[in-house]
Structure 1
């Protein structure tokens, strides 16, 4: 991106003030059909470097191509051709053929490199790969011949994709609850601080405002989720995330999150049942989120059993859920009745995989495909051998459309 930024800046330095003004005008007019306009207030009275910086933020990898289009629109053809040639040097044709932003079907979503396990020395990626602007436009306007359409149709396109309320990114709140320190010090969750840090970083980079809590009892978790469901910001949001990380168990055949005062002998009631999250955020208790995707991520054990068994013919019991709500999906760190694992320094494997997959693939895949990639990569992880098998599980899904996160501004 630094090369692209410099190339655009160098060309804009050649423009006189009147030409720069016309260039900015093209940006706030939308340049051409299917290109999102930059709000006029973001560009007026801005110098060349500010304009380029905002173009890169707004259009990501498409910034250079859109600069070329804007230059041609103001009859700066020689400069446009020169910029286009230099862009090809930093954006090789081979890369364009592999991921053509104008053809969503050409984007490789099943490459073997994307399904390899993360290594033991894994570090959080430096950033999230932003979506291609034209890829997003083609997805949202796939059923229209005319892509230059107002935000009104943007909100009306309810055929197959959850449409964003913003023309740039997803917009919404995220609830992040992490239990780290427990009344019984032997239950402290070493490494959970890293999970909290990584999830907060990921959610903020996906443009969600994060409401964060630490070290809650079961009742406090319930109140936090209820308070979250009443937030007025949901009215203007298009989706939400709820992430809960703690110890867990299967109690009364239900998934339970253990509060920080839980004690098997003296305080067994300090729990929060995962299913209550669906009740708190359903259409009755949270009407502001009706028809909006609600993603629940749970990092917790779901029992004390190990995940590996000898191969034999069997018919496993199904874990049935009653679907009274809509537009939910719950992704849990392990299968029912099975323990989950966490590195005491780097945090849980489940959260690490989510961060890694979202950073590389949220630019092109909907959320169910992202979850599939997490599971596929964890299934291959050599650290989970024999009885210590670990595989995440999608529960209680009622999404009726594809939910793309559209990272990037």
Structure 2
């Protein structure tokens, strides 16, 4: 009975351990998300300096994300995750012992950047393993579970832990405590490949030449490239918010704790809808969920997230509702993780590298937009740039159609996978 429950919810016992480990690992990664920017600004950096720091971090994450898929396919998930763990631990130690105490941007940038190389290799390496392990007909649910644990650790548990730990430990000690969660998560997750062997497909592609697939796949399969752009837009605003929204909220009367509660609400709702949209998309179609609930929904709720707290400064409930609505729509991009490998079934790892590149680039693009436009356009202008990006993503989704073998009916435009399809089912080229 227990085994049946595990297989029903987590696909397999190995994936269950991986999911649990990723959640704990990302809890350590996400400790500083809601408060590091205002802390740095309070200690002498400008908002542009903070945006630059987060942008460089995001650029390094984008590079690691790009190659995480093909590296995991060539060498296996476990070695890639181990490398990610090592980079994160070393980068964190250098940032906290050398970079942050100096409050010198030239010292903070390289050490924080090294830290940014770590988590994509760990988390997205595991995501590629999910793409191969999960049956195709349950791929939407499987990736929904991944984003559930990813966001749950990164932006809910980590943020809530910070809100509790900061008054007692202070900023620096709270950041050091992140290493405990990262190490614990790695111990749990790295059991997923214990004693495992590479698949035939991995053995066939185990060469450095295959690494270039992480670049050329976007040109061989143009829809994969478009999907990477949509994924970049997906969380750009969310990563940009942490740079300037805490300051905006505090300027209109909210405390740091109030902001952390808003941010935690956003991601708590997000992880619930990660599961829901993953399951629903397997039934009614992947593309329409992304297009309407993700792209259009985020365009609307981005505006609400910014304006509602300003119109109700004395009541936190409307602000929490607006942040939760944005988090729910953000989750509707989850089916992209099922769409991308379906567009290149013979090169799933390379296709996932483009998806992961988009995820990494979003951590660069979001803060970069703040750094470039906050001085000239202000916070309001930045919000409307993010809104326009979401609407542009909706237009791109019109052209990202999945193979005909995955379509249920014309009424949905695109649908769940046929139950008879297997793990490595041949699909039409996207």
| Category of TM-score, reference length = shorter chain | under 0.3
Where is the strand percentage greater, Structure 1 or Structure 2?
A: 1
Bigger Rg over Cα: 1
Q: Which has the higher contact order (CA 8 A, sep 6+)?
A: 2
Where is the helix percentage greater, Structure 1 or Structure 2?
A: 2
Q: Normalized against structure 2, the TM-score is what?
A: 0.23
